[in-house]
Amino acid sequence: MANWTEVASTEELPAGEKICTTAEGTPIVVCNVDGDLFAVQNICPHAGLPLGEGGIQGKVLVCPFHGYAYNVDSGKNVDFEDDVPLTRFPIRCENGKIEVDLEPMQ
């Protein structure tokens, strides 16, 4: 059963932007890609560093430390398909509130 946790308001996250936050102790990056919302753990699978400090271009979030690039929709590394994927979380928007379920997506 889903356990939705509020992480931001829609006013805080316009299209093309991302925010870094914490939900129940879990570091999260929430991205708004042309109105579509994505939530991933704010930990780069490559080296465990904060991924959310990097830039986002479309659906690609780039780690600022080693340049590893991940698709926030699929979680896959765009350069090394066999690399460990991002941990993704279900996300929804209810009454102007952005909420995530901390049960990771498969």
Instruction: Assess if residue 85 is contained within a domain.
Output: yes
Instruction: Assess if residue 65 is contained within a domain.
Output: yes
Instruction: Assess if residue 42 is contained within a domain.
Output: yes
Please say whether the beta carbons of 50 and 20 come within 8 A. Answer: yes
Q: The domain that contains 47 carries what CATH number?
A: 2.102.10.10
Instruction: Assess if residue 106 is contained within a domain.
Output: no
Instruction: Assess if residue 26 is contained within a domain.
Output: yes
Long-range contacts of 17-21 (CB under 8 A, 24+ apart): 18/52, 18/56, 18/61, 19/52, 20/50, 20/52, 20/53
- The whole domain housing 45 covers 4-100
Instruction: Assess if residue 105 is contained within a domain.
Output: no
Instruction: Work out how many domains the chain is built from and give that number.
Output: 1
Burial readout 80-93 (b: 16 or more C-beta within 10 A, e: otherwise):
eeeeeebbbbebee
Say if pTM beats, i.e. exceeds, 0.85: yes
pLDDT, one tens digit per residue, over 48-104 is 999 999 999 999 999 999 999 999 999 999 999 889 999 999 999 999 999 999 999
pLDDT, one tens digit per residue, over 5-61 is 999 999 999 999 999 999 999 999 999 999 999 999 999 998 899 999 999 999 999
Length of the chain: 106
CB atoms under 10 Å from CB of 100, counted, come to 26
